Structure 1
Amino acid sequence: MLFCAVVAFALMFAEQRMPRMAELRAHLSTVVAPVQWLVSQPSDALSWGALVLADQRELIEENRLLHEQLLMLSQRVQRMASLTAENVRLRELLNAAQRGDILYITAELLSLDSDPFTHQMVIDRGRSDGVYVGQPVMDASGLIGQVISVSAYNSRVLMVADASFAVPVQVNRNGLRFIVQGTGRYDELDVLHVPDTADIRVGDLLVTSGLAGRFPEGYPVARVAEVIHDPGEPFAEVVAEPIAQTERSRQFLLLFPPPPPNVSQQALDAAIEVGNSVAPNGEETEASQEEGT
């Protein structure tokens, strides 16, 4: 040990005094490199083993959670079969039109906007995939935003958390309709203009109402987190939490809702004819009276 210390000091002294020692040191490092690699192998093996065991534990836990989720979804699917059949019978009794499936394509996150005052992201689908401005975007949990600009191969999405985003919703429990607006925070949305006497409660699910035809009806948007009643104020303050995982999702669905049905020309002509047969004060014209007699 004393000999090694003396040699080390001698080498350091020589390196300071002799310029060629740097070249010798480089050659010695090349010779010693295999020895360093062999010495590092046990440590690397232990690190790799610990990582494998940790990943295995995570995979086992994730597998258990996925099995539980699969059982829960299987139970829901079993119930859904009877509910779907019942819904079909009720629609037949009411002579209501069937709701068709909504087409969609998948997309992945490319980047997030670095501006702290906006909540936008870029996805890997564009005009070549049929994406259009205003198209609704979903993640695995709920509505995450809508497309605001489109290029050939990617698109920019305005997220529900952005302060300039608003969507018409309805309370899933009773059908009351409101407007939800972003607040600039990922975990909070405002429910606007809620009358103080409105039947809205903490835990209520807010889904898209389908009004204005931009977002299809029935997709989850937020869940009511807080309802504040201020005596003397006509409106209550309602705060909701978005259902979509706005900070974690990387895969999305771009929906292609069907266009709203147009009024047929025949029905429009009939309505105009009926309107012309009624006077402005609500009385029938002479022509219609004669036709009636």
Structure 2
Amino acid sequence: MLLCALLAGALMFADLRFTRMEPVRAQLSTLVAPIQWLVSLPSDALNWAALAFSDQRELLDENRQLREQILTLSHRVQRMASLTAENVRLRELLDAARERDIPFITAELLSLDPDPFSHRMVIDRGRRDGVFVGQPVMDAAGLVGQVTSVSAYASRVLLVADASHALPIQVNRNGLRFIIQGTGQYDTLSVLHVPDTADIREGDLLVTSGLAGRFPAGYPVARVTAVVHDPGEPFARVDARPVAQLQRARHFLLLFPPEPPEALGRGGWQVSLDPSAIEAARQVMGPVEEDD
């Protein structure tokens, strides 16, 4: 032990005073590398096995959830087929026009507006894809917003949560129509001018009403979270939560709604709409701007 201690001290002195020990250290490190690899092999194998089993468990859980979701959606589709057939028969009895499928294209998020007081985003579809100002934007859950400016390869979207955005909606349960406006917060929208006696409740689903012709009717917008009645006030305060995943969604649908038909008078004749009235109705739903 004394000899080893003396040898170690001599090697440290030589390493400190002379540079010839550097190539020796490099060669020794090369010789020791396989031993270090063999020593760390069991630990690396255990870590790899644990990671593989963890990934396998996550895949199995995800697969189970997807199977349950497929079963749920299959049940809904079966029920929807019956409701669709019934709807067609009722429309034929009422001699109503049949609803047409609305074409769409997909888009992906490019960037978000860094301004904390503005809720806008940029998507990877533009004029070359047929995108136009005022076009509705959806995600998998509901309405996200509308296109406010278009360039050749990208478009800017104003989200429903922005304080300058408003659109006409109706209560899905009873058809009452109101205006919903953003509050500047992603999780809260405000339903404007709701009479204190209106039949609106917490949990009601709010959908697009189709008025003004910009947003097609029937698409989910928000769900009522609070209805506050102030004594002596003519209007109730109604808050709602957007159904769209405004802060998490990355893929979107751009809808191409059909042109609204011309209005018919009481006797069935066509009535020309006042352009100033149309423009005023469109301004209610939020400002739009166009880029070259």
Per the alignment, residue 181 of structure 2 pairs with 181
Alignment root-mean-square deviation, CA:
2.7
Does the CA-based 8 Å contact 2:262-2:270 persist in structure 1?
no
Decide whether aligned partners of structure 1 residues 151 and 5 sit closer, same or farther in structure 2, where only a CA change above 3 A counts.
Answer: farther
Report SS of the residue matched to 1:91: helix
Task: Write out aligned runs for 1:275-286 (5 A).
Answer: none
Deviates more, 1:4-13 or 1:203-212: 4-13
Name the structure 2 match of 1:134. Answer: 134
Measure how far apart 1:260 and its partner are.
0.8
- Which piece of structure 1 moves more, 34-43 or 8-17? 8-17
Correspondence for 2:65: 65
Shift of 1:21: 5.3
Change over 3 Å in CA distance of 1:235–1:64 after alignment to 2: same
Number of the residue aligned with 2:258: 258
The match for 1:54 is: 54
* 1:170 alignment partner in structure 2: 170
Q: List structure 1 runs of 4+ shifted beyond 3 angstroms.
A: 1-41, 266-270
Secondary structure in structure 2 of the residue aligned to 1:202: coil
- 1:196 and 1:263, CA in 2 relative to 1: closer, same or farther beyond 3 A? closer
- Which residue number in structure 2 is paired with residue 273 of structure 1? none
Q: Deviations over 1:130-185 (max 9, x none)?
A: 11121111111101111122222222222222222212110000111111111222
The answer to whether 1:92 aligns with 2:92 is yes
Q: Is the 8 A contact 2:169 2:207 kept in 1?
A: yes
Q: Which residue of structure 2 aligns with residue 83 of structure 1?
A: 83
Counterpart secondary structure, 1:110: strand
Alignment of 1:235-250 (within 5 A): 235-250=235-250
Q: Percent identity?
A: 73
Are 1:102 and 2:138 an aligned pair?
no
* Amino acid corresponding to residue 177 of structure 2 in structure 1: R
Check 1:231–1:62 CA distance in 2 against 1; reply closer, same or farther (3 A cut).
same
| AA of the residue aligned to 2:201 | R
Give the 3-state SS of the residue equivalent to 1:254 in structure 2: strand
SS in 2 for 1:133: coil
Task: Tell me which amino acid in the other structure corresponds to 1:136.
Answer: P
Task: From the superposition, tell whether residues 56 and 234 of structure 1 become closer, same or farther in structure 2 (CA, over 3 Å).
Answer: same
Q: Name which one, 1 or 2, has greater alpha-carbon Rg.
A: 1
- Encode CA deviations 1:38-70: one digit per residue, 9 max, x unaligned: 443333322222222222222222222222221
- Relative distance call for 1:123 and 1:25 in structure 2 (3 A) is farther
Given residue 254 of structure 2, which amino acid in structure 1 is its aligned partner? L
Distance 1:50 1:95, change over 3 A: same
Describe the SS at the equivalent of 2:206: strand
**Offset of residue 2 of structure 1:** 8.5
Instruction: Give me the whole-angstrom Cα distance separating, in 2, the residues matched to 1:10 and 1:168.
Output: 88
Flag structure 2 segments of 5+ consecutive residues without an equivalent: 273-292
Match of 2:116 in 1: 116
- Which residue identity lines up with residue 130 of structure 1 in the other structure? G
How many Å separate the matches in 2 of 1:6 and 1:121? 71
Deviates more, 1:113-122 or 1:166-175: 113-122
| Ranges in structure 1 where 5+ consecutive residues have no aligned partner | 271-293
The aligned amino acid for 2:60 is I
Between the two proteins, the alignment pairs up a number of residues equal to 269
CA distance in 2, matches of 1:176, 1:245: 25
